[in-house]
Amino acid sequence: MHQTKQAVSATSRTSVARRFILSTCTGLMLMFTLWLMVSAESTPLSVAGYLDFSYQGWDGPGSPTGEKQESKLWWNDGFWWGSLFNSSTDTFHIYRLNWGTQTWEDWGVELDDRIDSKADVLWDDTAKKLYVASHVAVLSDGEGVKTEANWARFYRYSYDATLQTYTLDAGFPVTINEDKTESLVMAKGSTGRLWVTYVSRGDTPKVSADYRVFVNSSADDGATWGTPIVPTLNVTDTAIHVNRGDSSAIVAVKDQVALMWNNSISHTNQTLHFALHSAGVATGNWTHQQVAVPEGADDHISVKSLQSTVDGKVFAAIKTDAVTSDPFLPEQPLITMFGIDINSGAKIMRQYSTNRDKDTRPMLMIDVGDQANAGDDKVYVFVACQESGSKNCYKVLDIKTPITDMG
C-alpha cells in the first residue's frame, strides 16, 4: 500500500470502475459522518468532497449505515443510486445522486417501510434486477422472533431504462428468515443462486448464548428461500459458534461463494474464519480455514472479490482487536488487509495502520480498471481516521499476479 494517507477525493474517472472508487467518498460520508445532521443542500468542504445525506429522524439502534458488511449504494444506467431514509415518511426509499448539485434526490420508490430496519443492496446489471435484503436491526442480540412484522425481507425490483425507475416485482417481498439481526449480507453466485448470511441464536431459547453463523439461499431469483442453516464445516464446527456481536459476510468468487466471519468467544484469542462452498447448491460441507490476524479480529470486516470467471481473489479490510487505549502498544497493527487466491491458496496480510492512528470502520473497494489491462487492478481501503471520525482517509494497493507478489 502507498504509505501516505490521502483525503478522499470526489473527482470522477472515465471508466465506471474508476468512478465507483473515487465517488465512493459520497457513500463513505453515509458510513462515517452519520452523526452530522446536515441540511438538504450539499455544502462544499474546504478539503475535499461534500457534506452528505442526513439520517435525521431514523429511529433504529446504532447507526443506520454502520454495518461494515452491508452495501447501500449501486451504479446503474450512468447514475449512483442508494437505499436511503426518507424522514418525511419514516421509510426507506430509492434515491439518485444528482452529480451536478451533489445532492440525493428521492425517486419515489419505497423500499422497507420499517423505521428500525437496515438493508444490504445488490444490483445485477445482467438481469437488470435490484435485490434488497432488509432486516429489523438489533445490536448484537440476533435472535428468532415470533412476530412476522419483524422478520427479514427480500425485495426484488425491475428497472425500466426508458422511465429510469424501479418497480417491485409481483410476489415480493418474501421472507428470508424469522430473525432480528445486527446485519444481513447478500451475494449472488455464478449460477444465479442468491445467498445471505447473518449471526443469530435462531430458534433456540432466548436464554441461550449459542450464537451461530447462519446462511440461507434461493435458487429462483429470490422468490422462495430455504430454511436457514448453520454451515457444516469440513473440520470441527466449533468455529461456527460465535459471540453476540460477531459478524459474518459473504461474496461470490469464481464458481463459489466465500463466507467470512469473526469469532470473539475467547477474549484472549479472537479469530477470523474463511470458508468456501459451491455457488450453485445449498447443501454440503464448507471448506474452512482459520486466518491468522495480528492481535486477533474485530467484527469490522469489509469483503470484496474480483468479479471474473478466471480470477479467484478475495480481499477483506479488517480491524484487529488491538487495544487502542493502551499507550504502551502504539505500533500494534490496527487496520489490516487480507487477501487470498482460492485457486492457489496463497494468502497475504498487509498492515494499513497501527494502534497509534486509532483508525476505525474500514471499507474495501476493488477497482477493476480497464478490462484489456488486468495489471491496473487496484484495492482501495478507506477508513475513518481517528475514532472520532474527523477525516476519511485511504490507501491503494496494486493487485498483481500471483497474489504473493503484491507489494
**pLDDT tens, position by position, 77-135:** 999 999 998 888 888 999 999 999 999 999 999 999 998 899 999 999 999 999 999 99
Asked if the model's pLDDT at residue 324 lies above 60, the reply is no
In a domain, 1, yes or no: no
The two beta strands, 271-278 and 287-291, are antiparallel
Please tell me the least confidently modeled range out of 41-50, 119-128, 334-343, 389-398: 41-50
Nearest residue to 94 via CA among 185, 158, 35: 158
Residue 398: predicted pLDDT: 82
Place of cell 468512478: 19
Dihedral angle sign, alpha carbons of residues 260, 264, 269, 270: positive
In a domain, 163, yes or no: yes
- How confident is residue 307, by pLDDT bands cut at 50, 70 and 90? low
Phi then psi dihedrals of residue 399, to 5 deg: -90, 120
Distance CA 318, CA 363 (A): 9
Residue 42: predicted pLDDT: 52
Count other Cβ atoms within 10 Å, centred on residue 296.
19
Phi then psi dihedrals of residue 16, to 5 deg: -60, -40
In a domain, 33, yes or no: yes
Place of cell 481473489: 313
Domain total for the chain?
Answer: 1
Peptide bond preceding 402: is omega within 30 degrees of 0, i.e. cis? yes
Q: Which three cell numbers stand for residue 345?
A: 491458496
The mean pLDDT of the chain is 79
Q: What percent of the chain has pLDDT over 90?
A: 36
Query: E-strand spans in 243-377?
Result: 248-253, 256-263, 271-278, 287-291, 297-305, 313-320, 333-341, 347-354, 360-367
Residue 243: predicted pLDDT: 84
154-189 confidence digits (pLDDT tens): 999 999 999 999 999 999 999 999 999 989 999 999
CATH number of the domain within which 38 lies? 2.120.10
Most confident of 321-335, 345-359, 371-385: 345-359
Asked if the model's pLDDT at residue 354 lies above 60, the reply is yes
Residue 327: predicted pLDDT: 61
Asked if the model's pLDDT at residue 314 lies above 80, the reply is yes
Distance from the Cα of residue 152 to its chain's centroid: 17
In a domain, 23, yes or no: yes
Dihedral angle sign, alpha carbons of residues 57, 61, 65, 71: negative
- Its domain, for residue 340, covers 6-405
Distance CA 162, CA 174 (A): 27
**Do 340 and 404 contact (CB within 8 A), yes or no?**
no
Total count of residues recorded for the chain: 407
Residue 146 or residue 180, greater confidence = 180
Place of cell 422468490: 223
Instruction: Map residue 156 onto helix, strand or coil.
Output: strand
**Do 349 and 292 contact (CB within 8 A), yes or no?**
yes
Question: Which residues make Cβ contacts (< 8 Å) with residue 170, sequence separation at least 6?
Answer: none
**Do 213 and 242 contact (CB within 8 A), yes or no?**
yes
Distance CA 240, CA 262 (A): 9
For 161, what's the count of Cα atoms within 13 Å in the CB-facing half-sphere? 7
**Do 263 and 242 contact (CB within 8 A), yes or no?**
yes
**Do 199 and 214 contact (CB within 8 A), yes or no?**
yes
Q: How far apart are the first and last CA of the chain?
A: 7
Count other Cβ atoms within 10 Å, centred on residue 335.
26
Residue 373: predicted pLDDT: 62
Amino acid (one-letter) located at 179: D
Residue 18: predicted pLDDT: 41
Dihedral angle sign, alpha carbons of residues 240, 68, 221, 343: negative
Distance CA 9, CA 285 (A): 43
Count other Cβ atoms within 10 Å, centred on residue 331.
10
